[in-house]
Structure 1
Amino acid sequence: MQSKGQAVLFSEMAPAAAWTDRFHNWYDTHHIPVRMACPGFVSAQRYRRQDGEGYLAVYEMDDVGVLSSDAYKVIKSNPSEDTAFMLANVSGFTRYLASETSAKPAAPGVAAALDAPILYSVCFNVPAEAAAEFDSWYETEHIPLLMECPDWLMVRRMLVTDGVPEIYTHMALHYLADAKALQSPARENARATEWRKRLAEQDWFQASYAVFDRWGQRQLGQR
């Protein structure tokens, strides 16, 4: 069964230590399953942030319009008691809706890469006048150099259409077999090119980076 969509909802939050178990039970047995029953949701995978207490969920959807559907509006407007508690009390909340513009797996097919043990996210706020060059650099130079590392399984690029708390325009999701890929010669080479150095001189070239470990099993929507 296909588990990748053409859009993602990228949402992170952190529970208090006193109710972490309650948070995980709610997420795994209620919050995700309710969404997997909604038309347009393809799958969901949870992750844990390596440098903090946050837990991320990446929901795969047919397209960004799923969150505007009548079926999803019913879910959002009728939260359970646990859902209302969690959303009112978690910290570190993020929510980014993004539409996929490219997906480059190291090998044909995406099923195995999508379930990689490490997810590395990179977000930029790129001004409109710089977007064409930024996209060209990322697609034609940066990704090919990164994927010279055998642990770099797939790169997906996204246009962010909505999100809080930061304002981003571009998101890249890197699926890694091992976090050591981030210290690989391939990544060092990708970050040392003249093209990247030229872009890095621009004030807007300030990315937000995060590394996550896969947490639990992927849940699938009802297709």
Structure 2
Amino acid sequence: MSEAGPSAWTSGRRPGLLGQALMLYAVDVAPEDTARFAVWYVHEHLPERVAVPGFLRGRRYVRIDGPGQQHLTLYDARDTAVFSSPEYLARLDDPTPLTREVVRTFRRPHRAVLSVLFSHGATTGRRLAMLQLPAADPAQLHRWVEDDLAPTVLTHPDVYGLHLAVVDAGATAAKSATAEGRDAAEEVDEACVLLVDGTDVVGEAARRAAARCAELGFTEAPPDATVYELVVTLLPTG
């Protein structure tokens, strides 16, 4: 990636994600269910979730490249404890009728609650690239991202943010005993997630990061990057 002018990294460290935790939800739906899914997500589900205490932002994306699921949602949260809080679990235990209907149309649902290890750049771009990486040594991966990857990737002015988070298995599993959790049949990986936020260049940045991960022995082969386009961002109203 070529450097062209000042960047988020060279102009000094900047705040990143809004909290110390993320929830990632990725899913496919059939073409005939997509319109209802989109309306439900924007007008019911996102507002419902960000109204829970501790939720700081919700963002919905659609896939434009790569092998991942069609739809991705990211929730910034104060910390991973939010996802086992009484307020959140009560919401999961009382899904709306429309939520029950829509959840039954989900294909390949994947959900993970993650603890943020590294985060730089609070600006949200129209593109987001995601890599899922093995979590055998999150501390070593964190050092590599901060010391080597960030100074390289964030020198490009069209890369707005770089974030690394690791799955919190306990916080992720808290949903499983609720009514919504029992209906979901979600996949959960023990993994780290690397996010590159910005414009059209994020796919290239993520692919280079994936190649470097393999060279350093974090993975046997470069992991696939999935690139998403931002649909909507929602902040709490209170």
Structure 1 length as normaliser, TM-score?
0.81
1:34 is matched with which residue? 48
Bigger CA drift: 132-141 or 64-73? 132-141
User: Deviations 1:124-174 (Å, cap 9, x if unpaired)?
Assistant: 11324xx44333222211221112222111111112113552523311111
Q: Tell me, what secondary structure is at the counterpart of 1:141?
A: helix
1:138 is matched with which residue? 145
Separation in 1 of the partners of 2:149 and 2:46? 34
Separation in 1 of the partners of 2:73 and 2:227? 13
Give the gaps of 5 or more residues in structure 1: none
User: Deviations 1:18-69 (Å, cap 9, x if unpaired)?
Assistant: 2222111111111111112111111101000113761111111111111111
1:86 is matched with which residue? 102
- 1:13 alignment partner, one of 9, 27, 31: 27
- 2:136 alignment partner, one of 108, 127, 130: 127
Q: CA deviation at 1:120?
A: 0.9
2:201 is matched with which residue? 180
- 8 Å CA contact 1:9, 1:95 repeated in 2: yes
Separation in 1 of the partners of 2:210 and 2:90? 45
Give the gaps of 5 or more residues in structure 2: 1-15, 173-185
One-letter amino acid of the structure 1 residue matched with residue 234 of structure 2 = Q
2:115 is matched with which residue? 99
- 8 Å CA contact 1:146, 1:187 repeated in 2: no
Percent of aligned positions that are identical: 22
Count matched residues: 206
Separation in 1 of the partners of 2:211 and 2:23? 31
- 8 Å CA contact 1:122, 1:210 repeated in 2: yes
One-letter amino acid of the structure 2 residue matched with residue 170 of structure 1 = C
Q: Tell me, what secondary structure is at the counterpart of 1:139?
A: helix
2:236 is matched with which residue? 221
Separation in 2 of the partners of 1:191 and 1:34? 35
Q: CA deviation at 1:183?
A: 3.4
1:212 is matched with which residue? 228
Separation in 2 of the partners of 1:171 and 1:34? 25
1:171 matched to 2:193: yes
Separation in 2 of the partners of 1:199 and 1:153? 27
